[in-house]
Amino acid sequence: MTRFTFDRRRFLGLALATGAALAAPPRRSAPGGVALDEATLDQMAEGMRTGRWTSEGLARHYLARIRTLDRASLHAVLEVNPEALDIARALDRERREKGPRGPLHGIPVLLKDNIDTGDRMQTTAGSLALEGAKAPVDAPIVARLRAAGALILGKTNLSEWANLRSSHSISGWSGRGGLTRNPYALDRNCSGSSSGSGAAVAACLCAAAVGTETDGSIVSPATSCGIVGLKPTVGLLSRAGIIPLSHTQDTAGPMTRKVRDAAILLGAMAGPDPRDPATAGCKAYPDYTVFLDAGGLKGARLGVARNFFSGNRGVLELMETTLKTLTAAGAVLVDPVDVPTADYEKPELEAMLYEFKAGLRAYLQGRGVTGPVVDMASLIAFNERMKAKEMPLFGQELLYEAQAKGPLTDSAYLKALETCRTLSRAGIDGPMDTHRLDAIIAPTGTPAWVTDLVNGDNYGTSCATPAAVAGYPHLTVPAGFVMGLPVGLSFFGRAWSEPVLLKLGYAFEQATKARRAPKYLPTLDLSSS
């Protein structure tokens, strides 16, 4: 595996040096003349069914793109599965002899590098502190994917420790993987923390990917990279075997190019798990594609959360066009509805710091890690020793704050948690009850910002927090472009409402077909804007 070390001059010059000449591998055609790069999971499955494609062929195609396109410019993939081609051949043989297990049979999927795989790959959260310490078993969601026939192709880069290390962090950067770059403009940020998963899906380095979210870490890179991202209800997917930040907000979720692909991936991963008590009452369906309906917007009541409409002129213009599209498709807009967040933003961080300290220790002990890092204190010490490699751009002040927290029985933690749960859920349930809404909508965020190695991230406006803190589902779907950069439309609502959100998002996708493949520009040409 190649480590992408950080070099300031290399970063600043890379786009100009390689961007204009960047050449992706030639687009090969799948059955029916569909370009494989943009093929859906259904199209790939049909190609393998007819024998005109194989899982090995798909894997080789994506591995070639990773070797060329990704290694040259994006740095979305940390490592590839050294057994990928052997597994693909075995899946092809099984298909010939027994038939497919389902729609994911032989489909190459990438995983964020905080999700355990009990194989030859590592699980490090992007940190050098866990390099070489392999997980003993698959996370339950990975076991489910393998059981469904999915081919685990590799691990994606991320914001190190899922972006809870510094308030001046740079999304998509990790000590192990360097900086992930946005496929639409290489000097722009992918957002995070599922940066590599977002960039990899956008750049067609895989058929689909899995990210994780605590607050925005799926939906924010999805909107920045022009793809579909679904943050499920907390407890719909097992969190066991995933490096934790917050046991009250963490969840994995699908990141794909199409809504139907997200529904297929969700169905394979969802379900109860005895290792995760939050899943005990989960309302999972084995097949979420049955809820998809191209006419699903007709009669749907959607609350327009204008407090998340940014001051960006392009976003405002795009959203006004989007609202007209929704109305034309039969949706009933309740405009506006207010979904406040200010009263629980500070308690959210307070609770998260407590939970990160406790969760990290429990995870490392459960995994049997015996290396230099076994808890928050030893992680801080490791980073100080490895300062040149781990902290060349930003520090670890949030880790120090987490280490200073007490146990989860502290009154300060319990008060913060209660504030978060009560206010966030009331902020969604209240307007949904009052206006009889099916979902609340808003722009997912502002367009991708230019990566700033000095000052850190500049997220702009985002609507991720309400559903994240409440533990409710949140779907983002490409809505269009602002000056060449993608922007998504968010649908969020009550717990376990994934079927409704997928129906609405699918209908919106069919009405707009807004996704466009990236061009890997070195920077945006704004001279004509």
pLDDT tops 90 at residue 501 = yes
138-159 pLDDT, tens digit per residue, is 999 999 999 999 999 999 999 9
**How confident is the prediction for the chain on average, in pLDDT?**
93
How much is the average pLDDT of 498-519? 98
What's the Cα-to-Cα distance from 316 to each of 192, 344, 479, 485, rounded to whole Å? 23, 26, 12, 14
- State residue 370's pLDDT score: 83
Q: C-alpha angle 433/322/486, rounded to 5°?
A: 115
Q: What per-residue confidence (pLDDT) applies to 133?
A: 84
Q: What angle do CA 167, 11, 199 make, to 5 degrees?
A: 70
What is the reported pLDDT for 310? 84
Q: What's the half-sphere exposure (Cβ side, CA atoms, 13 Å) at 180?
A: 37
Judged against a pLDDT cut of 80, whether residue 529 lies above it is answered with: no
pLDDT score, position 43: 97
For the cut 90, the answer to whether the pLDDT of residue 30 exceeds it is no
Alpha helices in 66-217 (DSSP H): 84-98, 140-147, 195-202
Residue 10: pLDDT over 80: no
* pLDDT for the residue numbered 528: 61
**CA-closest candidate to residue 220, choices 242, 245, 199:** 199
**In whole angstroms, what is the distance from residue 162 CA to residue 174 CA?**
9
Q: What is the mean pLDDT of residues 249-268?
A: 98
Collapsing DSSP to helix, strand or coil, 78 comes out as strand
Contacts of 24 (CB under 8 A, 6+ apart): 37, 65, 68, 69, 203, 520
pLDDT tens figures, 399-438: 999 999 999 999 999 999 999 999 999 999 999 999 999 9
Q: What is the DSSP string of 223-291?
A: HHTTSEEEEPPTTSS--TTB--S-TTT-EEEEEESSHHHHHHHHHHH-S-BTTBGGGTT----S-GGGG
| Percent of the residues in the chain that have a pLDDT greater than 90, as a whole number | 90
**Going from the N-terminus, what domains does the chain have, and what CATH number goes with each?**
62-81+105-512 (3.90.1300.10)
Sheet holding 151-156, edge to edge: 77-80, 151-156, 108-112, 208-213, 251-256, 228-231, 474-482, 485-492, 439-443, 301-304, 332-334
- pLDDT band at 495; cut points 50, 70, 90: very high
Q: Is the model's pLDDT at 517 over the cut of 70?
A: yes
Banded model confidence at residue 29, pLDDT cuts 50, 70, 90: low
**What is the DSSP pairing of strand 77-80 with strand 151-156?**
antiparallel
What pTM does this model have?
0.95
Q: From 492, 427, 470, select the one nearest 249 (Cα to Cα).
A: 470
- Please, which residues bridge with residue 155 across strands? 79, 111
Q: Return d(Cα 59, Cα 65) in angstroms, integer.
A: 10
User: Per DSSP, what are the bridge partners of residue 188?
Assistant: 450
Q: pLDDT (tens digit, 9 = 90+) per residue, 358-384?
A: 999 999 999 998 889 999 999 999 999
Instruction: Report d(CA 515, CA 509) in Å as an integer.
Output: 9
**CA pair distance 121, 153, nearest whole angstrom:** 10
pLDDT at site 14: 43
Q: Which has more pLDDT, 513 or 36?
A: 513
| Predicted pLDDT of residue 323 | 98
Would you state the pLDDT for residue 22? 44
In 288-313, which positions are buried (b, 16+ CB within 10 angstroms) versus exposed (e)?
Answer: bbebbeeebbeebebbbbeebbbebe
The answer to whether the beta carbons of residues 271 and 284 sit under 8 Å apart is: yes
Distance CA 51, CA 102 (A): 16
Tokens of 150: 């999915």
DSSP strand E in 276-425: where?
Answer: 301-304, 332-334
Whether 248 shows a pLDDT value over 80: the answer reads: yes
What pLDDT does 373 receive? Answer: 95
Q: How far is CA 292 from CA 472, 506, 507, in A?
A: 20, 6, 8
Question: Would the pLDDT of 266 be above 50?
Answer: yes
Question: What is the arithmetic mean of pLDDT over 276-282?
Answer: 96
432 touches 500 (CB < 8 A): no
Q: Could you list the active site residues?
A: 112, 193, 217
Q: pLDDT at residue 18 above 80?
A: no
